[in-house]
Chains A and B, each alone.
Chain A
Amino acid sequence: MNLKEIERWHPISQVALNWAITAGSVLICLLMLPTRLPGMELAGVSPNWLLIWVVAWSVKRSPFQGAIAGLVLGLIQDGLTSPHPTHALSLALVGFFTARLRKQRYIQEDFISVALIVFAMAVVAETVIALQFTLQDKRSLAEIWTYHQFIALSSAILSSLWAPILYFPLKRWWEWVSSLEQA
């Protein structure tokens, strides 16, 4: 589609299109979660697409916006798996911390820094879930934390490697939208 054409649209339809694309990208992430495509899997673990999305969203936004996005996606993931322990807390923290990093102030480079942020945040998210399991007292401590090591590492590696495929299109789109708003 021609971007020039969209520039002539009514502002409200532009905003609607922006939200449709944002919501659409979330839907794609949700649909990617239960699939295990060849090459996207490491010992049964697949990339955490919702985490990548939350990082991509929060990198250039305020901590509050990041936390809200994490909360929303976490609630949806709760529905898809099991609400106890909740994913909303871990993803909201991820959104908050990512926004607090204020990456663009320190690092101009994009490709590796986002992968690194996703790596760290995947570890944070899995640790928060493991802590909730620990408080819940349903599984044994040793089991939770050995499993945590395995999941945190493989999910962090896979998510950080697959992060750019989601991050770059979204970043380009949101940059273009904000340039349109300023014009």
Chain B
Amino acid sequence: MYTLRRWWDRHRFQIILVSLTLGTALFLRQTQGALVLEIYQLLTRPFQGNPTQQSRLEDARILELQQRLVEMESQNDELKKVLGYTTENKVPQEIISPVIGRSSDHWWQQITLGRGSRDGISMGDIVMAPGGVVGRIVGVTASTSRVLLLSDPSNQVGVSISRSRSMGYMRGQSGNRAVMEFFDKVPDVKRGDAVATSAFSQLYPAGLPIGRVESINLSKSPAPEAVIELSAPISYLEWAVVRSGKTSSQPTSDSQPSDSAPSNSVPSSSEPSQEATP
């Protein structure tokens, strides 16, 4: 008892300090570093420019519009074939937010936005930029939010080729490239085709522009692959648009009768679009 007491007297200070620091670290970890991010947002506020359209982003904007046009035309043709199609698209609320930080670690492709739950952003919201989809929200604090970019390898999205409706899923690679794996053995795809999110995606609404096909490898096993160049300028984003609100009501996936749909739009097997959440 006495030795224990003496040991406690000698080490009391260190033990309390160590448990305090460990406690703080655990707290920061459980709260997703909210405190640090809030301080970061406060400190960088003077440096955050107002979201202004810049000339180098305009090219990307034009590309996005072109892709949307291809997507719309193709979708329109399909809709004409389907009788009794009614759409009840909700218009999502759009929050423009500055990009205040990149990822805090090299293995994750993340960005930090300077708007948070106070401005109406919630988990799972879709983040857009001039050029198309950028990613989705995986963490929110009062005035910041963290975006998992499409270029992160753990971010898997169901996508389709806008021209031919060939389906597959896409997995990020670092930089602004991603790899798309097709469900079909012989997909109808060629270089330069626009790629958009598909109706099979559970996390993203259908028909949002993503990028264009850069190269194709049809002999790849187990499934043909294509390298996709993301059209949003992910490496020099200065601001992004968060589409808030539940946009999950996807008219195409619910009201599309499977028997009258074109045969190439339905994946042959029961492969779902795999979408991993990290």
Contact = CB atoms under 8 A, between A and B. Distances in A.
B173 A76 contact: no
A77 B173 contact: no
Given A76-B33, A143-B153, A151-B107, A71 B39 contact: no
Nearest to A72: B25
Given A34-B112, A139-B153, A143-B153, A76 B106 contact: no
Interface string A51-82: 00000000000000000100111011111111
Contacts of B190: none
A101 interface: no
Contacts of B173: 143
Contacts, number: 96
A77 B154 contact: no
A150 B235 CA distance: 17
Contacts of A77: 104-105
Given A27-B36, A34-B40, A143-B173, A151 B106 contact: yes
A44 interface: yes
A159 B104 CA distance: 14
| Contact-residue size bin, chain B (C-beta under 8 Å from the other chain) | 35 or more
Contact of B102 (A34, A82, A150): A34
A151 B152 CA distance: 14
A130 to B, nearest CB: 8
26 contacts: A30-B104, A31-B40, A33-B105, A34-B40, A34-B100, A34-B103, A34-B104, A34-B112, A35-B44, A35-B101, A36-B102, A45-B106, A71-B22, A72-B21, A72-B25, A76-B25, A78-B29, A79-B29, A79-B30, A81-B103, A81-B107, A87-B105, A133-B107, A138-B153, A138-B154, A150-B174
Interface of B: 17-18, 21-22, 24-26, 28-33, 36-37, 39-40, 43-44, 100-108, 110, 112, 138, 153-154, 173-175, 235, 276, 278
